Amino acid sequence: MKVLLWHVHGSWTTSFVAGSHEYLLPVTPDRGPDGRGRATSWAWPASAREVPLEALRTEPPDVVVLQRPHEAALLHRVTGLRAGHDVPAVYLEHNTPTGHAVSTPHHVLAEPALSGLPVVHVTWFNAMAWDCGTAPTEVVQHGIPDPGHLYTGEDASVAVVVNEPVRRARVAGTDLVLDLAREVPLHVYGMGSELLLEVAREQGGPDLSGRLHDLSQAQLHHRLARHRLYFHPYRWTSLGLALVEAMTLGLPVLALSTTEAPHAVPASAGLVSNDPAALRARARLWLRRPELAMQQGRAAREHALAHYGLDRFLSDWDRILKEVAR
């Protein structure tokens, strides 16, 4: 079937468009938020086609996957179609609530254009936290392509992936990253990571010169695999795909015991804790004992493949798209 969705989250969309459908991706001349079209840093299949936003009226979809509250109104403006009335639609929720942790009404309750739509959450935590009222809800856990067991751990340092760590600050746990970097060698990857250099200097260290990187996904996988371990510092997020990717690569992981992380990381694969001292101690242990890090990294990979494999993800979405289209 023809599935219309906006390119919002690149890593998630990379997995989604690997399915067996035809995917319509709106594109605008400026490739802004409502028209990014195809990705430039991922290899997407030919079945993921760019369609000029204003031309969607001439190519109606069989089903629409909405990901942001305003997309239903945008769909109606450019096509005349009402989501859930004139065309089958489902709302995909990527995020944790930005209001009160457990009593924030979901957009399907707050936005009349979304009323009655089924909601698919990407984590069990999100499904528990959001107030979706009587809207049908389901969970489809993330699924990612297997990059292979690339882990070597030869670089005795910690890897972190955080996009825009300065702007996102405490939400992304940037302060915890800087604290850990005072204790052990650490590298940060992600868009805007270079801004951390000045922040660290203003705070009197640590020196992150040469330790801040913004790489393509293909480069990132190979670089991450060289580090001894991965640290997931987010205080409040659904579940960063970089964590699952690191586990699939074969890295042992440290994470805060918040949102979905306790479900995603078993004890055999690393340590999930809100105690910074415990996280630091485990990092030092793995830096001293590479054989132990490799052993727990293997367990991390096995768990990630079993729970976040691409085949299961695409099968879940095939079922949901068929049900919604009916």
pLDDT confidence of residue 62: 97
Please give the single-letter amino acid code of residue 56. Answer: L
Distance CA(180)–CA(174), nearest Å, equals: 10
The pLDDT assigned to 205 comes to 82
The stretches of the chain forming alpha helices (DSSP H) are 10-16, 71-79, 107-110, 124-129, 165-172, 174-181, 196-202, 217-224, 241-249, 261-264, 276-288, 290-307, 310-325
At residue 82, the pLDDT reads 96
Q: Which domains does the chain have, with CATH numbers?
A: 2-143+310-325 (3.40.50.2000), 155-307 (3.40.50.2000)
For the chain, the residue count is 326
Give the pLDDT of residue 142.
97
pLDDT recorded at residue 204? 85
What local confidence, expressed as pLDDT, does residue 24 receive? 98
Per-residue confidence (pLDDT) for residue 217, from 0 to 100 = 79
* Predicted pLDDT of residue 63: 98
How far is 222 from 72, CA to CA, in rounded Å? 39
- In this prediction, residue 194 carries a pLDDT of 93
Query: What's the average pLDDT block by block, 10 residues per block, for the chain (326 residues)?
Result: 96 96 97 94 92 94 97 96 97 95 93 95 97 96 96 98 94 96 96 93 90 90 97 95 97 98 97 98 98 98 97 98 95
Whole-model pTM? 0.93
Name the burial class of residue 60, with classes exposed (0-12), middle (13-18) and buried (19+) by CB atoms within 10 angstroms of its CB.
Answer: middle
